[in-house]
Homo-oligomer: A and B are copies of this chain.
Amino acid sequence: MTVADLFLALIHYPVLNRNGAIVTSAITSLDIHDLARSSRTYGVRAFFIVHPIPEQRDFARTVIDHWRFDFGRAFDSRRREALDLVRITATLEDACAEAEKIAGARPLVVHTSARTDRGVTFARMRARLEASDGQPAMILLGTGFGMTPEVAARADILLEAINGPTDYNHLSVRAAGAIMLDRLRGR
C-alpha cells in the first residue's frame, strides 16, 4: 500500500512551561534518540528538531554526529540508521520547506495537544494518509507543557488527544510521539 509521506517535528519554541508562561525549552538527547527510533520504525521520512537558538542546534548536531561517525557508527549501526532521519532547523517554516522538497508537495501541518477535547480522530487522519491522493503530513510534537495557541492557530488541522481509560493525560513527549505513530502507521 502506498501512503502519504509522514514527517515529525519536535517544537521547542514557543512552548508553555508548567505555569503557562511562554518559554524556549532545551533539546534533550533522549528525545532525539527515542523519537528517531520511533520515526524509523513507523516509516517517517524525516524527523525535524526545531529550535531557534543556534547553540542548541549545534548541541543536537553533536548528539547525532557522535552516533553517525567514529565511535557510535561502529558501536551500534541501528542507532545511526535511525538518526539518519533527523534534520535540524531553526523554524517550523524551514522544516516544512525541507519536507516539501522531500515529498514534492507541501505537508499538511498537524497540531497535537494533550489538552484538547476536539480534533480529527486518529482513524480519520490515518485514512487520510492512506488515501490514494493523500497529502504529506507534518505532525507537530510540543515539548515542555505543549505548544502555544499561536502555533495551533498556524496549523492546518488539530489531531485529537491521546486518551487512556483514566483522566490522567501527562504522557512524556517520547511516549506520546510513539503512540501517535503507532495509531497512524502501526500494523
- Residue ranges of A at the interface with B (Cβ–Cβ < 8 Å): 3, 18, 30, 33-34, 37-38, 40-43, 75-76, 78-79, 81-82, 162-166, 168-172, 174-179, 181-183, 185-187
Give every chain B residue within 8 A of A43 (Cβ-Cβ): 164-166
Q: Do residues A185 and B171 form an inter-chain contact, with CB atoms below 8 A?
A: no
Q: What is the CB-to-nearest-CB distance from A79 to chain B, in angstroms, rounded to a whole number?
A: 8
Q: Do residues B182 and A34 form an inter-chain contact, with CB atoms below 8 A?
A: no
Out of B30, B40, B166, B179, name the residue touching A182 (CB < 8 Å).
B179
Given A37-B171, A162-B182, 19 new contacts (CB under 8 A): A18-B76, A34-B172, A34-B175, A37-B175, A41-B169, A41-B170, A42-B165, A162-B186, A164-B186, A165-B185, A174-B174, A174-B175, A175-B175, A175-B177, A178-B178, A179-B179, A179-B182, A182-B183, A183-B186
Task: Give Cα A145 to B155, complex, Å.
Answer: 38
Among residues of B, the one whose C-beta sits closest to the C-beta of A177 is B175
Task: Give Cα A78 to B166, complex, Å.
Answer: 13
Task: Give Cα A153 to B162, complex, Å.
Answer: 34
14 residue pairs A–B, Cβ–Cβ below 8 Å: A18-B75, A34-B174, A37-B175, A41-B162, A41-B169, A78-B168, A163-B187, A164-B186, A174-B175, A174-B178, A175-B177, A175-B178, A179-B182, A183-B186
Task: Give Cα A43 to B167, complex, Å.
Answer: 9
Q: What is the CB-to-nearest-CB distance from A48 to chain B, in angstroms, rounded to a whole number?
A: 18
When A174-B34, A175-B37, A175-B38 are in contact, do A182 and B168 touch as well, CB less than 8 Å? no
Task: Give Cα A170 to B43, complex, Å.
Answer: 13
Task: Give Cα A75 to B19, complex, Å.
Answer: 10
When A178-B179, A186-B179 are in contact, do A166 and B41 touch as well, CB less than 8 Å? yes
